Amino acid sequence: EVQLVESGGGLVQPGGSLRLSCVASGFTFSKNEMTWVRQAPGKGLQWVSTISGGGGTTYYADSVKDRFTIVRDNSNSILYLEMRSLRGEDTAFYFCAKDMGRRGYNFDYWGQGTLVTVSS
Q: Cα–Cα distance between 88 and 116 in angstroms, integer? A: 10
Q: Give the other-Cβ count within 10 Å of 74's Cβ.
A: 15
Cα of 22 vs its chain's centroid, Å: 8
Q: Cα–Cα distance between 106 and 100 in angstroms, integer? A: 6
Nearer to other proteins, 66 or 75 (CB): 66
Q: Cα–Cα distance between 106 and 99 in angstroms, integer? A: 5
Q: In the complex, what is the shortest distance from the CB of residue 100 to other proteins, in angstroms, rounded to a whole number?
A: 7
Does residue 18 belong to the site contacting other proteins (CB under 8 A)? no
Does residue 36 belong to the site contacting other proteins (CB under 8 A)? no
Nearer to other proteins, 12 or 96 (CB): 96
Does residue 108 belong to the site contacting other proteins (CB under 8 A)? yes
Q: Give the other-Cβ count within 10 Å of 100's Cβ.
A: 13
Nearer to other proteins, 41 or 76 (CB): 41
Does residue 1 belong to the site contacting other proteins (CB under 8 A)? no
Size of the site for other proteins (CB under 8 A): 22
* Residues composing the chain: 120
The residue range among 12-20, 22-30, 84-92, 101-109 that interacts with other proteins, by the rule CB under 8 A, is: 101-109
In the beta sheet, which residues pair with residue 107? Answer: 99
Give residues in contact with other proteins (CB under 8 A): 35, 37, 44-47, 50, 59, 61, 95, 100, 102-108, 110-113
